[in-house]
Amino acid sequence: MPVSAGAGTRGLPGASKPSGAAGADSETPMRIVHISDVHVTRLPRSPGALLDKRLFGVLNWVLRRAWHCRREYLNRAFAEIGRLAPELVLCTGDVTTVGSAEEHRLARSLLEPLRLAYGNRFLYVPGNHDDYVRDAACRTAFEETFRGLNSNRWQIADLPLEIALGGVRFLLLNEARPMPVALSSGRLGAGTLEWLAEHLRDSDPASPCVLVGHFPLRQADGRPLPRRRRLEQSEALYEYLRSGRVRLSLCGHVHHPFVRWEAGGGAEVCAGSLTLSGCFSVVDWLPEECRFRQFFVDVRRRDAAGWPPVEADLAPVS
């Protein structure tokens, strides 16, 4: 069971705060920007990539997604994020496509402006494409990405972690594991379910719990994800969301963004893919009203077809 960093609650000391940002204490509103699935892509240079899952990952990208990926959406998103002045920026994984050392280096470079701008208030949890294969060089690069994007505060083995900010408890999870070629699924580490049970034992409506992981617990329509694409322990986590003990689940993995409400008052927000769908999510915590408010920001061209910016209030915290 992970205990080195997850046993207690951690704040964010020394974090640089954007000018005009709220959420300095539990009585003021807090804005959270949520991005996901940047999917930086570089052809692997290692000959070993021809012998493992990376070969199939590159072919899948070239044949299905390469023409739809727009790296310029990153710069547009960074400009919009600066305008929104969030208290916290979350990235829920899949910053790479096949988890190669080349991709990890490029991903860290491209996301460095956000990390520098928000310091300790930029948080990253990994996706299945970031820890993609059982290759020593890829694993080292993945661990460097986790440390670097989290400002060298933690090792990947330190997850799960609880971070407290603005009266909200963020539970950061590692759901990424190298999987067989045909699978894009995930798995929690040993002891994580017990850790969650301990940290979710007591719930306080004024201090809501937010899960931060890569995999949606359910699809937009409420059905489970296909087995080959889901988190193996998703049903156990979904029960926390369904019952309201977790007020919000923030995730990626599915490239089309969605928001889904639960009868118990919780909600799940999938940010979608920033570079494929051209949008990211913004969540505001309104402590005086004891509720979250959410909307998407579309960074594509204004004349692009697709969904417009949408604002939707999440279910009030009862």
CA triple 235-237-242, angle to 5 deg:
85
- At position 242, the amino acid (one-letter code) is R
List the structure tokens of 102: 């080349």
On average, the pLDDT of the chain sits at: 87
pTM over 0.85: yes
**Which distant-in-sequence residues (6+ apart) come within 8 Å of 290 by Cβ?**
205, 206, 316, 317
Q: Pick from 149-163, 203-217, 298-312 the range whose average pLDDT is largest.
A: 149-163
Q: Is the pLDDT of residue 49 over 70?
A: yes
For the chain, how far is it from start to end, CA to CA, in angstroms?
Answer: 32
How far apart (Å, rounded) are the C-alpha atoms in residues 217 and 241? 9
Q: Are 229 and 269 spatial neighbours (Cβ–Cβ below 8 Å)?
A: no
Q: What structural domains and CATH numbers belong to the chain?
A: 26-313 (3.60.21.10)
Residue-wise pLDDT tens digits, 73-117: 999 999 999 999 999 999 999 999 999 999 999 999 999 999 999
The rounded radius of gyration (Å) of the Cα atoms in the chain is 18
Query: Residue 248's beta-bridge partner residues?
Result: 210, 267
List the structure tokens of 123: 């948080």
Q: Is the pLDDT of residue 7 over 70?
A: no
Cβ neighbours, 10 Å, residue 62: 12
How far apart (Å, rounded) are the C-alpha atoms in residues 270 and 46? 33
Residue-wise pLDDT tens digits, 269-306: 999 999 999 999 999 999 999 999 999 999 996 544 44
